[in-house]
A and B are shown apart, each in its own frame.
Chain A
Amino acid sequence: MGEQRLLEVENLSTSFTTEDGIVRAVSDVSFHVDRGEVLAVVGESGSGKSVMAMSLMRLLPKNAFVTGWASFEGRDLLSLSEAEMRKIRGRGMAMIFQDPMTALNPVFTVGNQIAEAVRVHQSVSKPLAMKRAVELLDLVGIPEPGQRVDSYPHEFSGGMRQRAVIAMAISNDPQLLIADEPTTALDVTIQAQVLEVIITVQRATGAAMLLITHDLGLVAGVADRVQVMYGGRVFESGDTRDVYYGGNNPYTRALMRSVPRLDERTSDRLSSVPGTPPSLIRLPRGCVFWPRCEFSEQVCRTTEPELIQCGTDHVSRCHFATTLPEFEYGARLGA
């Protein structure tokens, strides 16, 4: 087992002190990522999915307070010194951000930035690092990488920039890629291109991936396992099929049913979830989803449910996880 585990997180909680009160962005989250696997973290804004990733990278602002335990390749991430952490960032875990424009520095050429990323972790000469940059650009499908290496970020289109960001992320062969909404800012046809690059690269390097997204379609194709988050908590986690078809969690069910689908032939009403996600400053008592839940009962208002085992490696945070009515995924779709 130990060989397999790349990242193990237990009871991770992150809160921020703000002028309006304490924001409990992540509450008591535990999960693991095995070598080479793709774990998708799905949630809406305010679910804590991005903060969770930033907590692991230790890239949070000063007003953040993180507790819990996280082990990456056997090293305790949360107690490492900043210098040791820098060695892990990029080399052990690398990030792909949503906005490729802010992830690149506008005053340096793309090649320079990739070469720089290489040289932070490897003692290679500048020309050698530039050569590596060209190879990486080629790997992520940038045409004429030998010339484009000298371009500035603004000379790249959005899709090209995201490819460059991916090239930078894999420049030191990280064990774990953390991709935070990597395709959200892009056009539909470009999204498909970038997704193809990410998956190719992930398989070529054998890296594991933590894919953070709100896009249930993206997850359906690429994830081995899925973790659904809401109100800073893990609401459900399990193999992709189990989570999509199992129907063991009211929030996951509601999420699945509220998304219009491309293959939907009818125009019946969507089953929307009433209300809005909770404020992380004043979370509801009991289950944080109860005010919006179609199955909520008295117990939900008073007691927060634990994660309940629903199958092999499949857990759901609901008092009625195993007794919910049958769920027919895609029932709304026409023939």
Chain B
Amino acid sequence: MTELKGRPDTPLEVEEAPMDEAEGLVIVSRSFGRQTWDRFRRHKLAILAGVVLLIMTISFWAAPALSPYGFEEITPDFNQGPSLEHPFGTDDIGRDLLVRTFKAGQFSLLIALLVAVLTTVLGAVVGAVSGYFGGAIDSFLSQVINLFLVVPSFIVLLVVAVKWGSNPTGIAVLLALLLWTSIARVVRGVVLQYKEQEFVLAARAAGAGSLRILWRHIIPNTFGPIIVNATLLVGVAIILESTLSFLALGVRPPTPTLGNLVDAAKGDIDSDPIRVLIPGGFVVLIALCINFLGDGLRDALDPTTRRVRE
């Protein structure tokens, strides 16, 4: 630009003043991820939820590993209340409930994570294809999504769960089939919004093909909404899985999940309420933490809360 200085008709030298000096401030460069983290950090509740969730997750794995009992191991102590030996007591055939509860947390969490992964993959692919290519493909996929939404899927789920839902993988697949449409719709919306953005047009003007545009410009912008929705789905999946297992339509004992533990203990609610309250409490706590975390992520990843100069 220096060559352009001092043209005869220029009364004062313009342009060349460094912008930052003129603004009176130098902004420290922050990457997108860094900003997101800075915004997330301000959500104390989301941070707390994340920490609690992390502690729970670690203990779900650590406790059974450290315990002298296996989760399917039958001890001679039947139907015992909490004691030093068995802090959560034992069930009617003498299994240690602490180990079973934490192992159940492990299974429930794994199922929920599997659901999140499956829904995200299915939903993101369908949503992205539908939104980006539009036309007949979009019409068809949108109808498929609508079909999933209008079918009373929970009833269908109850019916199919009897047949395939008895093991953890089966139930995860079923829940994913029930839940993927919400991700697909979110991703389709985001893709539709971004594919007409001028930065996408600029890439096309430079000769970029569809793949590059999807990969470099559109997909990165769907990460935020996908992460938020997948997180919230984990919470939904935990609750749904517990519900099904509680109704004895989900994972069957001896594999413990938080839902079937409550189911097993429901007869003893008067004599030994702690057996219901502990696994039930875990379900509530996990769902709550995940929702707080999701809210925090939503704010942190929402581009509209990006700071704007006044």
Contacts and interface: CB of A to CB of B under 8 A. Distances in A.
Interface of A: 18-20, 23, 25, 46, 268-269, 271-276, 278-284, 291-292, 294
A278 to B, nearest CB: 6
Contact of B14 (A268, A274, A279, A291): A274
Interface stretch (B21-29, B88-96, B118-126, B133-141): B21-29
Given A19-B42, A268-B9, A294-B12, A275 B307 contact: no
A18 B306 CA distance: 12
Interface of B: 7, 9-17, 19, 21-25, 42, 307, 309-310
Nearest to B305: A19
26 contacts: A18-B307, A19-B42, A19-B307, A46-B309, A268-B9, A269-B7, A269-B10, A272-B15, A273-B14, A274-B16, A274-B17, A275-B19, A275-B21, A276-B22, A276-B23, A279-B310, A280-B310, A281-B25, A282-B25, A283-B24, A284-B24, A291-B17, A291-B21, A291-B22, A291-B24, A292-B17
A240 B10 CA distance: 28
A274 B310 contact: no
Given A279-B23, A283-B24, A272 B310 contact: no
Contact of A276 (B10, B11, B13, B19): B19
A275 B19 CA distance: 5
Nearest to A23: B310
A123 B228 CA distance: 50
A275 B25 CA distance: 12
Nearest to B42: A19
Contacts of A269: 7, 9-10
Contacts of A272: 14-15
Contacts of B15: 272, 274
Contacts of A284: 24
Contacts of B13: 274
Contacts of A271: 11-12, 14
A21 to B, nearest CB: 10
Nearest to B22: A275
Contact of A282 (B11, B24, B42): B24
Contacts of A294: 12
Nearest to A295: B12
A286 to B, nearest CB: 10
A285 to B, nearest CB: 8
B24 A278 contact: yes
B67 to A, nearest CB: 46
The listed residue with most A CB atoms (<10 A of its CB), out of B9, B12, B14, B15, is B14
Nearest to A277: B23
A271 B14 CA distance: 8
Contacts of B19: 275-276
A271 B10 CA distance: 7
Contacts of B9: 268-269
Contacts of B7: 269
Nearest to A285: B24
Contacts of B23: 275-276, 278-279, 291
A275 B310 contact: no
Contacts of B42: 19
B63 to A, nearest CB: 40
A80 B14 CA distance: 48
Nearest to B38: A19
B25 A279 contact: yes
A280 B15 CA distance: 22
Contacts of B16: 274
Contacts of A46: 309-310
Nearest to B15: A274
A278 B12 CA distance: 20
A20 B305 CA distance: 12
B41 to A, nearest CB: 11
B22 A274 contact: yes
A65 B148 CA distance: 51
Contacts of A20: 307
Nearest to A48: B310
A268 B10 CA distance: 9
A167 to B, nearest CB: 32
Contacts of B309: 46, 279
B22 A25 contact: no
Contacts of A25: 310
B24 A279 contact: yes
A269 B10 CA distance: 7
B152 to A, nearest CB: 31
B37 to A, nearest CB: 14
Contacts of A280: 310
Nearest to B10: A269
The listed residue with most A CB atoms (<10 A of its CB), out of B7, B9, B23, B25, is B23
A251 to B, nearest CB: 13
Nearest to A46: B310
Nearest to A294: B12
A33 B284 CA distance: 61
Contacts of B307: 18-20
Nearest to B12: A294
Nearest to B309: A279
Nearest to A284: B24
B97 to A, nearest CB: 46
Contacts of B12: 271, 294
A63 to B, nearest CB: 13
Nearest to A272: B14
